[in-house]
Chains A and B, each alone.
Chain A
Amino acid sequence: MNETMENKKFTGGSKYVLDEELANIVNISMALEMPLLLKGEPGTGKTMLAHAIAEALRMRLIVLNVKSSMKLIDALYQYDTLTRLNDSRFGDSKRDVSNIEEYIKMGKIGQSFVSVEKVVLLIDEIDKADTDFQDDMLDVLDQMEFDIIEIDKTIKASTRPVIIITSNAKKDLSDPFLGRCNFHHIAFPEPDMMRKIVQVHFSGIDRELLESAVRAFYRLREIKGVEKKPATRELINWIRALRSDPDFRVKDLVKGEVPYLGVLFKKSPDYAVAQNAVARFRV
């Protein structure tokens, strides 16, 4: 391990609660220079992790939000033919129409390659793209270079970015893809962890409120027949709502009342199911 890596050890961000297992995994992946594939249900902080790494290591974060219609080339670079066509027709720009390079714009992966400084590259929700995209992308990330066909130029990464890939899919990605990544599955936080997460977001939160809110939250997650269970994000928004309501008393939570249920359950069928269940909470 070289010196710079030694210094750059990931220990957590200011708004991110890191468990030591995950910190370990991040550090191993960085040392081995392997992309880290993160899976886990929504709300477990997969995306937040990349933000936290960037923040902690003071690196720039480049986010590639994968979309289903995306082609790999979009992530690498874009040849702006229309502008060039326009320029060649009207000739009123400073660009040199005969120089194609002036019409090449770097995509997100391209940006992370040309950056002089080491960056964190977050490839978010890889499962949205098709398998070809995934495999081809890993080829590029493996070799750390790609060609721009239009100008016959190879872009080589000056420094290998720290690559974090997230996937919401329960389905596994293709074998060649997995073969080139390290893997971690982030489980939904345990109540203890959740309390810490809440405390990070609301420093100095009232103990009683914290306790009862987290307890109520896990109880609500138990409700059967709900499509989208409330996750960390919902809990934080919910506590924010509770705290900003001057009429709210913690005692209500203890009694089994759940104000602002809609913050936690956002789909109307879920809301109905939850409302029913909550009615049964009250004794």
Chain B
Amino acid sequence: MPLPLNEVLILKTNMFVDFFYTLKKVGIPVSPTSFLRLQKALNMGLVNSLDDLYTAARTILVKSERYFDLYDQVFAHRFQGVELKDPDAFELTEVTRALLEEWLKNPKELAELLGIKEEELSKLTPEELVQYFLDRLKEQTEAHHGGGKWIGTGGTSPVGHSGYHPGGMRVGGISRNKSAVKVAMERRYRDYSVDGPFTESQMSEALKRLRNMVPYGPKDRINVEKTIYETMKNCGEIEIVFDRSLKDRLKVVLAIDNGGWSMDPYIALVQTLFNYARAQFKYLKTFFFHNTIYDYLWEDPPRRSKPFSVEELVRLDPETRLIIIGDASMAPYELLSTDGSIYVGERSGKPSYMRLQFIAQTFPHSVWINPVPPAEWPYTRTILHIQEIFPMFELTLDGLEKAVAHMMR
């Protein structure tokens, strides 16, 4: 079977395939469909410079800002070879050559972009052209140009640059005056990447999925089916039936280990998050504990004045989602021994792991969220024990999402 035209085109444009696979290899989920779309954009003449390529390929191929940083790195690597410190040592890769070949299909435009006459362009051998191209690129890396140079400057590219618009409308763009590669090298999106810092808003986004819609509030929704039914029953005399609208009434209990130093970096984060989430959850209760749970949870962070007996938890709605946040790392006896608590007042004879089992049974929708990276879990005995009682997830965006999905099952 002959290949469809589009695929033939791809085979021709080797270097894009190369780029595409590198993106894939570094873990950016790029789909073949979107790749074909990029080809379409190229064929439509929407991409006229490396700058355009940078934005076009990103907007079409990369679907999350979490991958923008990776994309920048791959782009910089592919299109300049970012690892080479000295621009003179720049080697012409197959990629650059293919890029030129692509452009050579439209010599007029290329000539215009390079700022030489078409006849002169046709006189150049490919090698000379490549040299010319590299010289241009070098100029670009050495200095900022405002005018007619071909990479990434205002004015020459036909697509949407600032400075180029016939209608006289005001464009307040900041002229970039840097090549796309340079922009890519800046790695502006580092903070958004998957392994970037974990922020409050990211967590609250993950937690937004926690909801439980139940009818609540005044009866202000018309139930059409029931209305028709009742009206018919009423011999056609209209009888309107109202319902309550659906509201989120999910109850959430949060238990935070605020004892050990290992938890310190996370306390503020977790609390800010849950304060924010408070508006969403109709019922949110926060408890504190140290290392693990014995007879009491504490409503006050210093764990002194407001004890809350673990047995009291049964009074809460079993549909409550319980989230325990702690590193689950302690001396094994603290978890397993009958008098494991480091606080004398809490030694009722029941070991902590039994308390935890009791809690897990009370709330079928419960999770343990652990700031310790999962790779280290197998080396801590108490983590393994607690994992048997509660499903454990790591305290990352990913882990939090999985935990939420688990709780909403």
Residues of A at the B interface (CB closer than 8 Å) are: 1, 9-14, 16-21, 23-29, 31-32, 34, 36-37, 39-41, 56, 69, 81-82, 85-86, 89, 169-172, 175, 178-179, 181-185, 187, 190, 192-193, 196-197, 199-200, 225, 227, 269
Of B45, B60, B165, which is within 8 A of A182 by CB? B60
Return the contact of A31 from the options B31, B46, B55, B209 (Cβ within 8 A).
B46
Taking the complex as formed, is B275 at the interface, i.e. its CB lies under 8 A from any CB of chain A? yes
**With contact pairs A21-B176, A31-B41, A69-B245 given, residues A181 and B170 touching in the complex (Cβ less than 8 Å):** no
Kindly provide the distance from the CB of A97 to the nearest chain B CB, expressed in whole angstroms.
13
Q: Is A12's CB under 8 angstroms from B169's CB?
A: yes
- Contacts A32-B41, A69-B246 aside, 12 further interface pairs with beta carbons under 8 A come to A1-B44, A9-B165, A19-B162, A19-B173, A20-B173, A27-B159, A28-B55, A31-B44, A172-B64, A178-B63, A187-B189, A227-B272
Q: Is the CB of B175 within 8 A of A178?
A: no
In the bound complex, CA of A193 to CA of B175 (Å): 10
Chain B positions 293-340 with a Cβ under 8 Å from a chain A Cβ: none
Assess A171 versus B276: contact at CB under 8 Å? Given A18-B172, A184-B59. Answer: no
CB within 8 A of B65: which of A14, A31, A39? A39
**Contact call B161/A20, Cβ cutoff below 8 A:** yes
Nearest-Cβ distance from residue A83 to partner chain B, whole angstroms = 11
Q: Which of chain B's residues have a CB closer than 8 A to the CB of A34?
A: 37, 60
Check A23/B45 contact, CB under 8 A, given A28-B55, A170-B201, A227-B272: no
When chains A and B are docked, how far (Å) is the Cα of A41 from the Cα of B206? 15
Establish whether residues B31 and A179, one from each chain, have CB atoms under 8 Å apart when the complex forms.
Answer: yes
> Is B275 within 8 A of A227, CB to CB?
yes
B397 at the interface (CB under 8 A from A): yes
Task: Check A1/B46 contact, CB under 8 A, given A24-B56, A187-B188.
Answer: yes
Q: How far is the CA of A233 from the CA of B65 in the complex (A)?
A: 23
- Give the docked Cα–Cα distance between A172 and B176 (Å): 29
With A12-B173, A28-B56 in contact, is A227–B37 under 8 Å at CB?
Answer: no
Given A9-B165, A89-B236, A196 and B174 contact (CB-CB distance below 8 Å): yes
Q: Determine the residue in chain A with the shortest Cβ distance to B231.
A: A85
* Measured CA separation A14–B161 after assembly (Å): 17
Distance of B242 from chain A, by nearest CB (Å)? 12
Interface 9-mer from B86-94, B222-230, B254-262:
B222-230
The answer to whether B170 and A14 touch across the interface, beta carbons within 8 angstroms, is yes
Are A17 and B173 within 8 A (Cβ)? Answer: yes
Which residues does chain B contribute within 8 Å of A37, judged by CB atoms? 63
In the complex, chain B residues whose CB is within 8 Å of the CB of A9: 159-160, 165
* Contact call A20/B154, Cβ cutoff below 8 A: yes
Q: Are A12 and B159 in contact (CB under 8 A)?
A: no
Cβ-neighbour of B171 out of A11, A81, A190 (below 8 A)? A11
Least CB separation from A171: chain B residue:
B205
* B160 and A11 within 8 A (CB): yes
With both beta carbons as reference points, the residue of chain B lying nearest to A21 in the complex is identified as B55
Contact B52 A24, beta carbon cutoff 8 Å: yes
Distance to closest chain B CB from A78 (angstroms): 11
Q: In the complex, which residues of chain B have a beta carbon less than 8 angstroms from the beta carbon of A11? A: 160, 165, 167, 169, 171
Quick check: A82 and B56 within 8 Å, CB to CB? Answer: no
Nearest chain B residue, comparing its CB with the CB of A88: B236
Tell me whether B68 is interfacial, beta carbon within 8 Å.
yes
Could you tell me if A12 and B172 are in contact, using CB atoms closer than 8 angstroms?
Answer: yes
**Chain B 23-41 interface mask (CB, 8 Å, partner A; 1/0):** 0000001010110010011
> From residue B59, how far is it (CB to closest CB) to chain A in Å?
5
27 pairs, CB–CB < 8 Å, chain A vs chain B: A9-B159, A9-B160, A16-B172, A18-B162, A19-B162, A20-B174, A24-B52, A27-B160, A28-B56, A28-B59, A28-B159, A31-B41, A34-B37, A82-B227, A89-B237, A171-B206, A171-B397, A172-B64, A178-B63, A179-B34, A183-B59, A183-B62, A184-B59, A185-B64, A185-B68, A185-B189, A190-B174
Residues in A whose Cβ lies below 8 Å from that of B200: 227
* A144 and B37 alpha carbons, distance in the complex (Å): 18
- B363 proximal to A (CB < 8 A): no
**A20→B238 contact, CB < 8 A:** no
Is A23 a contact partner of B174 (Cβ separation < 8 A)? no
Question: What is the chain A residue whose CB lies nearest that of B238?
Answer: A89
Chain A residues with CB under 8 A of B33 = 179
Residue on A with the closest CB to B66?
A172
Q: Which of B55, B65, B201, B272 contacts A25 (CB 8 A)?
A: B55
For the complex, what is the distance from the CA of A72 to the CA of B258, rounded to whole Å? 44
Most buried by A among B59, B171, B172, B268: B59
Chain B residues lying within 8 Å of A32, measured Cβ to Cβ, are: 37, 40-41, 44, 46, 60
Q: Which of B29, B40, B159, B397 contacts A24 (CB 8 A)?
A: B159
Residues of B within 8 Å of A200, CB to CB, are: 172
The answer to whether the Cβ of B192 comes within 8 Å of any Cβ in the partner chain is yes
Which chain A residues lie closer than 8 Å to B169 at the CB level? 11-14, 56
